[in-house]
Amino acid sequence: MTKQRRLIAILAVVGALLGVALGAVVSTGPSRYTASADVALLPAPNLTSVEASDFWEVLTSGQVTRTAAIVYGDPRWLTAAAGAARVPRSDLNLTAAALPETTILTVTVSAGSAEAAEAALNHVLATATPEVTSLAAPFFVKVLWPPENSAWAKSAPGKMQMMLAGALGGLLVGSGIGWWLARRRRDRTTPSGKHSNVHVAGDNNFDDSTRGAPLGS
């Protein structure tokens, strides 16, 4: 094995080992739990069928639902929700999104524990719904409250998957660095003015003194 190939192999192995270590560290991060609830926007229950049809037409355009999602997802609800969940505000993440082609939106809260996620979600729903109801009038806002213990752990890649991915990434990076260093070292050791003296077939750059000389001379 040449020195260049040995250098590439060594750096590839080192990169793979570092990638495995990094993957193991990343995969041991704290778990996150998510709790979510659906909110439906409906025509008021006391409308006639004709009036309800007109209201449904407005709702299906999606504008009312998107506006309600913006209000539910406002970060200003997080401070009080963190207090209700007894966790730091930075531990919570709040999102709200309208489901396409429906009059339903989903409110989601993630936290470091299932209990905190559920408590924060319930507080956001209880606090934000009155404002959403006021803005969405004359439409009816119906919260589909989630059952207890409905929070779930967010799926994340397993430790072995992260270690394998880190090993592959480190192997590629280490090999690339080794190839680059080997090429630089080779370029430094090769004289810049060294050229071959062998004539290429058909080369016309030969001594003019030989041109036209008789055979056998």
Across the 217 residues of the chain, what is the mean pLDDT of every consecutive 10-residue run? 72 77 66 95 87 86 94 98 96 96 95 96 98 93 93 70 76 78 74 51 49 50
Q: Characterise 157 by phi-psi region: left (phi > 0), alpha (psi -120 to 50), beta (else).
A: beta
**Cα–Cα dist 107/112, whole Å:** 17
**pLDDT at site 89:** 96
**Per-residue confidence (pLDDT) for residue 156, from 0 to 100:** 54
Structure tokens at 213: 């000389």
pLDDT of residue 180: 76
Indicate the SS3 state at residue 110: strand
Residues in a beta bridge with 33 = 111, 153
What is the model's pLDDT at position 212?
52
Q: What is the rounded distance in angstroms from the CA atom of residue 92 to the CA atom of residue 32? A: 10
pLDDT score recorded for residue 214: 54
The pLDDT of residue 183: 77
Residue whose C-alpha is closest to residue 67's, from 43, 45, 108, 39: 39
Tokens of 98: 């309208």
- Would you state the pLDDT for residue 196? 47
33-153 CATH fold: Alpha-Beta Plaits (3.30.70)
Q: How is residue 150 annotated by DSSP?
A: -
Task: Break the chain into its structural domains and give their ranges.
Answer: 1-29+168-183, 33-153
Residue 27 has what pLDDT? 58
Q: What is the pLDDT of residue 193?
A: 53
Query: Looking at residue 171, what is its pLDDT?
Result: 74
